[in-house]
A and B are shown apart, each in its own frame.
Chain A
Amino acid sequence: AQSVTQLGSHVSVSEGALVLLRCNYSSSVPPYLFWYVQYPNQGLQLLLKYTTGATLVKGINGFEAEFKKSETSFHLTKPSAHMSDAAEYFCAVNGLGDDMRFGAGTRLTVKP
Chain B
Amino acid sequence: DAGVTQSPTHLIKTRGQQVTLRCSPKSGHDTVSWYQQALGQGPQFIFQYYEEEERQRGNFPDRFSGHQFPNYSSELNVNALLLGDSALYLCASSPKGAGGPYNGYTQYFGPGTRLTVL
Q: Give A contacts to B, CB under 8 Å.
A: 4, 32, 34, 36, 41-46, 49, 51-52, 90, 92, 94-105
Among A49, A52, A94, A103, which residue has the most Cβ atoms of chain B within 10 A? A94
Give the docked Cα–Cα distance between A74 and B78 (Å). 35
Give the docked Cα–Cα distance between A101 and B43 (Å). 8
| Size bracket of the B interface | 20 to 34
Quick check: A105 and B41 within 8 Å, CB to CB?
Answer: yes
Which chain B residues border A52 with CB–CB below 8 Å? Answer: 104
Which chain B residues border A96 with CB–CB below 8 Å? Answer: 102-103
Which chain B residues border A41 with CB–CB below 8 Å? Answer: 111
- Complex A-B: 27 CB contacts under 8 Å: A4-B42, A32-B103, A43-B109, A43-B111, A43-B112, A44-B43, A44-B90, A44-B92, A46-B107, A51-B104, A92-B42, A94-B101, A94-B102, A94-B104, A95-B102, A99-B45, A99-B48, A99-B56, A99-B58, A100-B107, A101-B45, A102-B42, A102-B43, A102-B44, A104-B41, A105-B41, A105-B42
CB distance from B82 to the nearest CB of A (A): 22
Quick check: B104 and A49 within 8 Å, CB to CB?
Answer: yes
Q: Report if B110 contacts A (CB, 8 A).
A: yes
Which of B41, B102, B110 is A97 in contact with, Cβ under 8 Å? B102
Q: Give B contacts to A, CB under 8 Å.
A: 4, 33, 40-45, 48, 56, 58, 90, 92, 101-104, 106-112
Which of B43, B48, B106 is A49 in contact with, Cβ under 8 Å? B106
Among B56, B104, B108, B111, which residue has the most Cβ atoms of chain A within 10 A? B104
Quick check: A44 and B104 within 8 Å, CB to CB?
Answer: no
Which chain A residues border B101 with CB–CB below 8 Å? Answer: 94, 100
CB distance from B60 to the nearest CB of A (A): 11
Which chain A residues border B43 with CB–CB below 8 Å? Answer: 44, 90, 102
Give the docked Cα–Cα distance between A102 and B56 (Å). 16
Determine the residue in chain A with the shortest Cβ distance to B108.
A46
Which chain A residues border B42 with CB–CB below 8 Å? Answer: 4, 90, 92, 102-105
